[in-house]
Amino acid sequence: MISSEKKFPLSAKDYKLNEEIGDGVGATVYRALCIPLNEVVAFKDGIRREVQTMSLINHPNLLQAHCSFTAGHHLWVVMPYMAGGSCLHIIKSSYQDGFEEPIIATLLRESLKALVYLHAHGHIHRDAKAGNILLDSNGAVKLADFGVSACMMAPEVMQQLHGYDFKADVWSFGITALELAHGHAPFSKYPPMKVNL
């Protein structure tokens, strides 16, 4: 749900953008300071579909927005700052061969809780992967980036012949398990179209 106990301001002038902390298919994410609240947040140039999904969710394992607003031609989303970073970032920086099994089990359990919640509420994540599993400074696991498609997707999503359902997330969840265990997704060395074929 786009709400919080704190009231985050709805004007870009109330935020000081710092360094870029993430760059995905759909948007760039910055670390920012909410000046009136003196709180570090994540500031993202969002897409409407993602903001709509974020406004409908309320689960401890899903990254929720504090607020969103427009400034010029941009739709900005203010989110909690996940100081631990993404699992992909952690793998690349410290665990190139993947995590140990107890860590994988914990990350997958928490991510699966988020997917079960989304599916029960009629949503499909469409992009479960290590880069979208985030950790806060206390180690809490949150799934992020709702409704954003990436190149490593379930075949039924790529083909779009008969539509798709939650099975796309099940496929991606399995690939994520392998990515966490080995430090990379299967066939990640090959171009996406070659993998799909």
Beta partners for 162? none
Q: d(Cα 90, Cα 182) in Å, to the nearest integer?
A: 13
Residue 136 catalytic? no
Query: For residues 33 and 42, is the Cβ–Cβ distance under 8 A?
Result: no
**CA dist 138 to 5, 50, 65, Å?**
20, 25, 19
Catalytic residue among 97, 127, 165, 169: 127
Measured between alpha carbons, how far is 3 from 86 in angstroms, rounded to an integer?
23
The catalytic residues are 127
